[in-house]
């Protein structure tokens, strides 16, 4: 089905900035919007660009404690306090100026994407600035202030959605969203991620994590070994995710599209190429139509090759949402390449496609994990 796609574009979201040297650079999202514009995807028939409003305290409060929201406001406006209690401090979650406003804007953008879809105004909507899936109800974690996918899901439940499927393809486990809906049978969370207990962040996401009392089976995890490549990852995705979502029969599909699973990502060890994102986009799109009457709310997520990978990955996903993936020229527009290289001060790839990598050394092990998850989740 073509058309009816919303692109949330809110350049103000650049204030979500932990400062120079932090890997989560606002340019990731800004360059994504630039590449989407440079490829004319935002001017396709049926595509509408939507702005965003910050989430209110009340909407953030669907997920986060009032105490945490107040602490975030105070810390981000320079007040002294014991902010480490809320996860803030040197390291992953440094305090930055207007931290609350920035987090509320990102969360509001995901709620706006959810509103566009739930109202029927748009069939699919994409908030590239979102996907901050590690934030907990009362604690910042993994670069994430407010958990925008969870806030959007909680908002959808409040508006009357009965069943929501959340699919998280970020290289890191979607621990915040899983924890927030652990006891909630109306929300199915599925995360496919790199997993190596003991050192790889956040350390959760084992097969055995399946949901709390009364919600058993509402969490599904596909933990893959480092060095999994396109083939092993796609096999694992296809073996578990479409059948699990179809069986759940959701009203809405919410996806977190982190692309830190790329072979060149500095923070992780999977070995995907843009081919996997292209295939994944097609799978998710077809799944949204098959299982959720087309209702698809998509967010960005991790991805730390901010000039070389993220804009290409998320433009591929958006092109698929707009039914334009097969018409998308492989070469990137000159103007975009110049701008990306100017900001990165280094060369960037000039095509969406990439040479295939030799099969990931862990592809065989990844298949075995997927088959095990499938046995437990779908046949158990």
Q: How far is CA 42 from the centre of its chain?
A: 20
Q: Is 172 in the site for Zn ion (CB under 5 A)?
A: yes
Nearer CB in complex with Zn ion: 59/165 = 165
Query: What is the token pair recorded at 177?
Result: 């969203």
In the complex, minimum distance from the CB of residue 258 to Zn ion, in angstroms, rounded to a whole number: 5
Nearer CB in complex with Zn ion: 170/209 = 170
> Is 232 in contact with 225 (CB distance < 8 Å)?
no
In the complex, minimum distance from the CB of residue 310 to Zn ion, in angstroms, rounded to a whole number: 11
In the complex, minimum distance from the CB of residue 323 to Zn ion, in angstroms, rounded to a whole number: 6
Closest CA relative to residue 366, chosen from 255, 272, 247: 272
Active-site residue, selected from the candidate residues 133, 134, 173, 285: 134
> Is 134 in contact with 103 (CB distance < 8 Å)?
no
Build a one-symbol-per-residue string for 242-281: x at contacts with Zn ion by CB under 5 A, - elsewhere: ----------------x-x---------------------
Pair type for strands 219-224 and 5-8? unpaired
Distances (CA, A) of 333 to 34, 146, 177: 10, 34, 36
Active-site annotation holds for 100:
no
In the complex, minimum distance from the CB of residue 57 to Zn ion, in angstroms, rounded to a whole number: 27
Stretches 22-30, 37-45, 103-111, 164-172: which one binds Zn ion (CB under 5 A)? Answer: 164-172
Closest CA relative to residue 347, chosen from 360, 332, 359: 332
Q: Is 170 in the site for Zn ion (CB under 5 A)?
A: yes
Nearer CB in complex with Zn ion: 87/258 = 258
Q: Which of 6, 174, 232, 302 binds Zn ion (CB under 5 A)?
A: 302
Nearer CB in complex with Zn ion: 64/133 = 133
> Where do runs of H (alpha helix) occur along the chain?
27-38, 57-60, 66-76, 99-118, 148-158, 175-180, 230-248, 274-291, 310-321, 334-344, 363-378
Residues lying near Zn ion in the complex (CB under 5 A): 1, 170, 172, 258, 260, 302
Catalytic positions are 134
């Amino acid at each position: 089905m073509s058309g009816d796609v919303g692109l949330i574009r809110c350049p103000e979201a650049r204030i979500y900035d932990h400062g120079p040297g932090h890997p989560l650079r606002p340019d990731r999202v800004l360059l994504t919007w630039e590449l989407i514009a440079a490829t004319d995807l935002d001017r396709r028939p049926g595509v509408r660009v939507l702005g965003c409003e910050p989430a209110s305290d009340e909407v953030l409060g669907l997920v986060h404690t009032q105490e945490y929201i107040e602490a975030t406001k105070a810390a981000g406006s320079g007040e002294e306090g014991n902010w480490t209690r809320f996860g803030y401090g040197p390291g992953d979650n440094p305090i930055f100026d207007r931290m609350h406003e920035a987090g509320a804007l990102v969360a509001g953008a995901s709620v706006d994407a959810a509103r566009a879809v739930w109202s029927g105004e748009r069939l699919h909507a994409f908030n590239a600035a979102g996907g901050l899936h590690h934030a907990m109800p009362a604690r910042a974690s993994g670069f994430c202030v407010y958990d925008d996918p969870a806030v959007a899901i909680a908002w959808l439940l409040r508006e009357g959605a009965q069943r929501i499927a959340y699919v998280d393809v970020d290289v890191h486990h979607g621990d915040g969203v899983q924890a927030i809906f652990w006891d909630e049978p109306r929300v199915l969370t599925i995360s496919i991620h790199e997993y190596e207990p003991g050192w790889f962040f956040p350390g959760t996401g084992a097969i055995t994590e399946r949901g709390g009392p009364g919600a058993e089976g509402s969490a599904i995890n596909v933990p893959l070994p480092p060095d999994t490549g396109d083939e092993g990852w796609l096999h694992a995705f296809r073996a578990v995710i479409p059948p699990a979502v179809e069986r759940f029969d959701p009203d809405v599909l919410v996806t977190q599209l982190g692309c830190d699973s790329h072979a060149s990502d500095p923070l992780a060890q999977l070995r995907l190429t843009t081919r996997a994102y292209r295939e994944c986009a097609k799978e998710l799109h077809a799944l949204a139509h098959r299982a959720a009457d087309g209702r698809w709310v998509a967010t960005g997520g991790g991805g730390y090759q901010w000039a070389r990978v993220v804009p290409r990955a998320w433009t591929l996903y958006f092109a698929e949402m707009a039914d334009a993936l097969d018409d998308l020229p492989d070469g990137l527009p000159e103007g975009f390449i110049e701008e990306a290289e100017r900001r990165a001060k280094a060369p960037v790839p000039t095509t969406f496609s990439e040479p295939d990598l030799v099969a990931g050394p862990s592809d065989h092990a990844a298949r075995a994990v997927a088959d095990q998850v499938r046995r437990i989740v779908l046949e158990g």
